[in-house]
Amino acid sequence: MTESTEKPIVLIVDDVAANIQILAEALKAECRIRIANNGEDALRVAMRPPFPDLILLDVMMPGMDGYEVCRRLKDTAATQDIPVIFVTARDDAEDEERGLQVGAVDYIAKPYRLPIVKARVRNHLQLKHKSDLLEKLAMIDGLTGIPNRRQFDQRMEAEWRRAVRDKHSLALVMGDVDHFKLYNDHYGHGAGDACLRAVARTMFNALSRPGDMVARYGGEEFVVLLPDTNLDGAHKVAERMRLAIQGLDIPHLHAGMMVVTMSLGYAACQPGEDAVQSPSQLLDCVDDGLYKAKRSGRNQVAT
């Protein structure tokens, strides 16, 4: 489900319009209904956002049958987690077994009783909602609420492939809070946590494009992913972030400026056409920049 307040989307697939009608009528109070009259249409609807939260799928249809539709949904990253329930007149055990084998979560044979269909749909929608929530939580850093390293790694891989395909540049900024161990030692771990939250919020607010991303990479280290951005653009973002963090004016008696500051490295490359051959090599570059910024006295940016 995209929004917890929005009704879930259910796609009903059947070659007989009257069959769709019955199910749609039964579910429309609780769900937003999408329909498809054949397998090809079903795949088209299912593979475009907003994705359905559940699919009710007929087996026997002219052209592509329900088993094949299900198999293809399960083979596609964007749709493989959408629960599929077969609703079909084929009621022998072999058919049911086959339906479950191709990845359906449930199998309802006709004649069915509508209240039971509704209850099963509701149950599977609830499970889907919970697993969506868990997946989202697994991608978020618990302390700061921004994306975690796991989400960063996934986005990085995707943006790298996209940059190769579109011949775009790709840039990274890596920031590390200066003398943060001393900050914790002097102000306490609770204050340290609050400081990290403020730093995360500030970096997030310093992003300017919708495709940009800032993630918590490790303890007091943050990484910024900048698609379609060159070295000059990365330098600007890094410097904007450095100034914004210094501007927070968080007292830090043991830091050079007497306030919390950050050192940042930045790097950019042309994926597929460059000496930099992989996401991890670009990360090495940005790490080198960060190391340089630290060595040159902190509270600065370097590449």
Least Å distance, CB 97 to ligand GH3, is 50
Least Å distance, CB 248 to ligand GH3, is 16
Task: State the number of binding residues for ligand GH3 (CB under 6 A).
Answer: 17
By beta-carbon proximity to ligand GH3, the closer residue of 218 and 247 is 218
Residue 15 interface partner, choices Mg ion, ligand GH3, none, CB cut-off 5-8 Å depending on type: Mg ion
- How many helices and strands in the chain, by DSSP H and E? 10, 10
Residue 184 interface partner, choices Mg ion, ligand GH3, none, CB cut-off 5-8 Å depending on type: ligand GH3
The 180-219 site mask, x for binding Mg ion (CB under 5 A), equals: x---------------------------------------
Identified catalytic residue from 220, 221, 239, 273: 220
By beta-carbon proximity to ligand GH3, the closer residue of 107 and 180 is 180
Residue 97 CB-half CA count within 13 A:
3
Residues 124-183 that bind ligand GH3 (CB under 6 A): 143, 176-182
DSSP β-bridge partners for residue 36:
13
Residues 183-212 that bind ligand GH3 (CB under 6 A): 184, 189, 192-193, 196
251 lies in the site for ligand GH3, by CB under 6 A: no
266 lies in the site for Mg ion, by CB under 5 A: no
Residues 54-73 that bind Mg ion (CB under 5 A): 58, 60-61
Element (H, E) at 215: strand 213-218
**Which burial class, exposed, middle or buried, applies to 260 when counting CB atoms under 10 A from its CB (0-12, 13-18, 19+)?**
buried
**Which burial class, exposed, middle or buried, applies to 147 when counting CB atoms under 10 A from its CB (0-12, 13-18, 19+)?**
buried
Active site (annotated) includes residue 220:
yes
Query: Which listed residue (129, 149, 155, 298) binds ligand GH3 by CB under 6 A?
Result: 298
Helix, strand, coil shares of the chain, percent, nearest 5, are 45, 20, 35
Output the CA–CA distances (angstroms, integers) from residue 261 to 10, 47, 244, 264, 275, in the order listed: 50, 45, 9, 10, 32
22 lies in the site for Mg ion, by CB under 5 A: no
Give the integer Cα–Cα distance in Å for 171 and 169.
7
Tokens of 250: 């968080």
By beta-carbon proximity to ligand GH3, the closer residue of 14 and 220 is 220
The SS3 call for residue 118 is helix
Distance of CA 285 to the CA centre of its chain: 25
220 lies in the site for ligand GH3, by CB under 6 A: yes
Residue 58 interface partner, choices Mg ion, ligand GH3, none, CB cut-off 5-8 Å depending on type: Mg ion
Q: Are 252 and 179 in contact (CB under 8 A)?
A: yes
Least Å distance, CB 231 to ligand GH3, is 24
Tokens of 55: 């699919």
Residues recognised as catalytic: 220
Which residues of this protein are in contact with ligand GH3, per CB under 6 A? Answer: 143, 176-182, 184, 189, 192-193, 196, 219-220, 294, 298
